């Protein structure tokens, strides 16, 4: 089972500050993914999810793409429309990385 790193927890906290304190001593304590709890527990729509994703830096987005590519981040379980919102943010801000998510 994957354990979130401090970097992962910081990203999760940035995406969903509402989760602070709700999952233990630090955001992400009980989660093994970053995007799934944001998608299912916090965001109200795919538009909200996309707005949260757009709060991340390009470096943080690149890191998430790498995790997805390596199978360490689950995008298959996101709520309907949330993967599309994630992919749209990647296409706009990191078009060279969008191809790495093809077929997901």
Q: What are the sequence ranges of the domains in the chain?
A: 6-101
**DSSP at 79:** P
Q: What is the mean pLDDT of residues 73-80?
A: 95
Lowest mean pLDDT among 2-6, 14-18, 62-66, 85-89: 2-6
Between residues 74 and 1, the one the model is more confident about: 74
Kindly give, in sequence order, each residue whose CB lies less than 8 Å from that of residue 62, ignoring residues fewer than 6 positions away: 94, 97
Q: 58-69 vs 6-15: helix axis angle to the nearest 10?
A: 120
pTM: 0.88
3-state secondary structure of 75: coil
- Dump the DSSP string for 35-59: HHHIIIII-SSHHHHHHHHTTS-HH
Rounded to whole angstroms, the Cα distance separating 83 from 68 reads 11
Structure tokens belonging to residue 94:
């990191």
Q: Are 9 and 37 in contact (CB under 8 A)?
A: no
């Amino acid at each position: 089972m994957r354990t979130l790193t401090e970097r992962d927890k910081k990203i999760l906290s940035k995406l969903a500050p509402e989760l602070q304190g709700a999952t233990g001593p630090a955001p992400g304590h009980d989660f093994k993914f970053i995007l799934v709890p944001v998608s299912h527990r916090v965001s109200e729509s795919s538009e909200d999810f996309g707005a949260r994703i757009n709060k991340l830096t390009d470096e943080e987005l690149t890191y998430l793409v790498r995790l997805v590519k390596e199978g360490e981040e689950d995008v298959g379980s996101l709520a309907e429309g949330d993967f599309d919102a994630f992919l749209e943010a990647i296409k706009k801000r990191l078009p060279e990385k969008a191809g790495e998510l093809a077929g997901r």
